Amino acid sequence: MFIKILKNHSAPLTLMLIIFIESSIPMDGRVPGTFLTNLDPTLQNLLHIPLYGMLAFLWNRSFAKQHFSNKKMVLMTLFLTISYGCLDELHQTFVPGRYGSLIDIYLDGAGAFCGTILFFIARKSHHKMYGRS
């Protein structure tokens, strides 16, 4: 069963792993020259929106492949994406030079909603293009 879950949800789980790895990079100067340490803090914060938007998009896509109802798909996607954002902020409180931020959680949530909306727009466009209703 665990293997089936990994197989069915490999894309969003992979992105979650990437997010975890990136948020584990200390921001206290110990790791010089990394991509994140060179970014303006405001831009770092704003990157939460597209990152968690992509995560929500991938969760929606995974659930759609399993033929979940739209309501169940959206609820599970938003719950998983926003909960993961909260857990990631908690995780960052243990990483040197990082801190958890309520603003980042709001940005994660905004990204989750945007990614969900984009998924349905893309799916509707795909269905129109290929003659599905």
pLDDT (tens digit per residue) in 82-127: 999 999 999 999 999 888 999 999 999 999 999 999 999 999 987 7
Helix (H, G, I), strand (E, B) or coil at 132: coil
Distances 61 to 18, 73, 93, 119, 122 between C-alpha atoms, Å: 18, 9, 31, 7, 10
The DSSP result for 95-120, as a single string, is STT----HHHHHHHHHHHHHHHHHHH
* pLDDT of res. 51: 97
Residue 27's pLDDT band (boundaries 50, 70, 90)?
Answer: confident
Contact in structure between 88 and 23 (CB atoms under 8 Å): yes
| Per-residue model confidence as pLDDT tens digits over 44-61 | 889 999 999 999 999 999
- Name the average pLDDT for the chain: 89
Residue 37's pLDDT band (boundaries 50, 70, 90)?
Answer: low
The whole-model pTM stands at 0.88
Distances 117 to 50, 71, 122 between C-alpha atoms, Å: 13, 13, 9
Residue 128's pLDDT band (boundaries 50, 70, 90)?
Answer: confident
Instruction: Take residue 127 and report the two structure tokens written for it.
Output: 């269905």
Give every CB contact of residue 90 below 8 A, 6+ residues apart in sequence: 100
Contact in structure between 62 and 9 (CB atoms under 8 Å): yes
